[in-house]
Amino acid sequence: MLSAFDKYTIHPGMSSGGSTVRIGELSKRTGVAVPTIKYYLREGMLPPGELTSPNQARYDETHVHRLRLVRALIDVGGLPVATVKEVLTSVDSPSDDIEKLLGTVQHALFPGPPPSSAATQAAAEDEVRALIGELGWYCRDNHPAVSALATVLVSARALGHSEFLDTVRRYVTVAEQIGVVDLDYIVDRLGVDGMVESVVVGTVLGDTALIALRRLAQVSESAKRFPDRRRPAAPA
Amino acid sequence: MLSAFDKYTIHPGMSSGGSTVRIGELSKRTGVAVPTIKYYLREGMLPPGELTSPNQARYDETHVHRLRLVRALIDVGGLPVATVKEVLTSVDSPSDDIEKLLGTVQHALFPGPPPSSAATQAAAEDEVRALIGELGWYCRDNHPAVSALATVLVSARALGHSEFLDTVRRYVTVAEQIGVVDLDYIVDRLGVDGMVESVVVGTVLGDTALIALRRLAQVSESAKRFPDRRRPAAPA
């Protein structure tokens, strides 16, 4: 269990030789309850502290940071604990292959595709791959986003929303801009802390930020188009 | 319990006087197991069928459609059953006030803000409101996206990612384009089926589609910038 932390990165500005605290103080500083911290320790999500007596351990800034990361993934990202553990395994295994890294983190952060007729789903995945090819995007065939997007198409059609594919096509231009912003962020953060952590934090916080901004933009756009707050008239 | 369905909309092209099926056939057509269908009936998420004998009911196309909607919200949207019930209440209470409708659906579709220091959270919410004002966006003060976005800022800072605010600012332009695409979709669908359903379907499928496209765009952008698949060099 401990071996996963052999490569645990000490973030610049965080001295492991600095002041250390007991678990109660760690709880106070992070707002995470002591029993929860003990659970994370047992599950290997938090590296063990330095034992100062058989029943006492002391924790440092790396523990404070790790707890904040865990809580951000759970509270902001809404990730289940099992997924958090998987993501942390990536964080603890630094890689210098950015594409592989994106793949690992994205796999962990994507829910599995829901059950649906294998044939319908496979056909929709072919459609998504064709769209990716048409766009000149690069993507491995088995990327989880391919099946997620295929599931969206299958569901939209089953609900009689076939035109939703047009909306997806219009989202493409938008997504390309998001990709540029995201890679800029990862590159800008190089040297500040681990690239893996930037990918994880950027992905999880970014998802939530984008969804929140989408909601606000919808309300704003609606207020702009229909200032009298009434239902728009159906097209003739 | 039944009263919630008094206003249940028969979608155009779905005749309630058309052919009806037993629960087994309903299950076969939608891929939803019979016990699950019975659960949805008990919970009021699916309107009751037409009784043909004390123990037999028959179901029509409105039931097929409703089951597909429920499964899309759960499988594609990843929503918990309690949230699905809340969203369905909106679907069953048609409103002609698009802004109120967006608000209701968005409230149901947003997870509550995680616990965090009330003062820090409140300060971040003020910051978000200032950003919204600066953008000339329209938004009610208590919109759930405001606290979601504030939570992102609080978490980013706690993790030493203060620059993430710059990323959020760059997402704004992108979000404005998404808002336009989304409102176009809702307006285009008017007259096809209930506006509420278009908002729900567009919101849930759209979230998943955007997140999937974001992942694909990141991989593509990364492959474009670093064609040798190696880690980008840290800036000097």
Does residue A196 share a domain with residue A137? yes
Which DSSP state fits B74? Answer: I
Predicted TM-score (pTM) above 0.90? no
Residue A145 within a domain: yes
> For residue A25, what pLDDT is reported?
95
pLDDT band at A236 (very low <50, low <70, confident <90, very high): very low
Closest-approach residue (CA) in chain A for B199: A218
Burial (Cβ within 10 Å: 0-12, 13-18, ≥19) of residue B58 = middle
Enumerate residues 34 to 63 of chain B having a beta carbon within 8 A of any beta carbon in chain A: none
Best interface-test mutation with B: which of A75, A106, A189, A218 has the largest number of B CBs within 10 A? Answer: A218
**∠B191-B193-B199 over CA atoms, to 5°?**
105
Does residue B129 share a domain with residue B159? yes
Does residue A189 share a domain with residue A110? yes
Q: How many residues does chain A have?
A: 236
Q: Is A234 in contact with B191 (CB distance < 8 Å)?
A: yes
Q: Does A33 touch chain B (CB under 8 A)?
A: no
More confident residue, B179 or A95: B179
Q: Does A122 touch chain B (CB under 8 A)?
A: no
Residue A57 within a domain: yes
Does residue A47 share a domain with residue A106? no
Does residue A110 share a domain with residue A69? no
Residue A235 within a domain: no
Residue A220 within a domain: yes
Residue B232 within a domain: no
C-beta atoms of B164 and A216 within 8 A: no
CATH of the domain at A44: 1.10.1660.10
Distances (CA, A) of B52 to B16, B49, B56, B212: 15, 9, 6, 45
* Residue at a domain's end among B19, B42, B76: B76
Q: Is B218 in contact with A151 (CB distance < 8 Å)?
A: no
Q: Does B163 touch chain A (CB under 8 A)?
A: yes
B85-121 confidence digits (pLDDT tens): 888 887 777 666 666 767 777 777 765 555 566 888 8
d(CA B86, CA B105): 9
More confident residue, B52 or B3: B52
| Most confident residue range from A86-100, A210-224, B63-77 | A210-224
Helices (H), chain A: 23-30, 34-42, 61-71, 81-91, 98-109, 118-135, 144-158, 164-189, 195-225
Chain A residues in contact with B209 by the CB 8 A cut-off are: 149, 152, 167-168, 171
Does residue B168 share a domain with residue B134? yes
Q: Is B193 in contact with B11 (CB distance < 8 Å)?
A: yes
Chain A residues in contact with B110 by the CB 8 A cut-off are: 215
Worst-scoring range by mean pLDDT, A9-23, B72-86, B91-105, B145-159? A9-23
> For residue B224, what pLDDT is reported?
87
C-beta atoms of A159 and B69 within 8 A: yes
CA distance B213 to chain A (A): 6
Enumerate residues 192 to 211 of chain A having a beta carbon within 8 A of any beta carbon in chain B: 192-193, 195, 198, 201-202, 205-211
Residue B84 within a domain: no
Residue B125 within a domain: yes
Q: Does B68 touch chain A (CB under 8 A)?
A: yes
> For residue B233, what pLDDT is reported?
55
Backbone angles phi, psi at A148, to 5 degrees: -60, -45
pLDDT band at B236 (very low <50, low <70, confident <90, very high): very low
Confidence check: pLDDT of B11 > 60: no
ipTM: 0.76
Does residue A112 share a domain with residue A57? no
**∠A209-B182-B142 over CA atoms, to 5°?**
50
Chain B residues in contact with A161 by the CB 8 A cut-off are: 189, 198, 201-202, 205
Does residue B72 share a domain with residue B99? no
CA distance B53 to chain A (A): 30
d(CA A195, CA A180): 16
> For residue A94, what pLDDT is reported?
66
Provide the domain limits for residue B221.
95-225
Distances (CA, A) of B23 to B29, B51, B63, B74, B81: 10, 12, 10, 21, 21
Does residue A118 share a domain with residue A67? no
How many domains in chain A? 2
d(CA A181, CA A108): 22
Nearest residue to A47 via CA among A31, A33, A32, A64: A64
Does residue B134 share a domain with residue B220? yes
Percent helix, strand, coil in chain B (nearest 5)? 65, 5, 30
CA distance B156 to chain A (A): 8
C-beta atoms of B31 and A116 within 8 A: yes
C-beta atoms of A177 and B174 within 8 A: yes
pLDDT band at B16 (very low <50, low <70, confident <90, very high): very low
Nearest to B216 among A145, A201, A230 (CB): A145
Does residue A57 share a domain with residue A118? no
> For residue B37, what pLDDT is reported?
96
Does residue B21 share a domain with residue B100? no
pLDDT cut 70: percent of chain A above it: 80
Residue A158 within a domain: yes
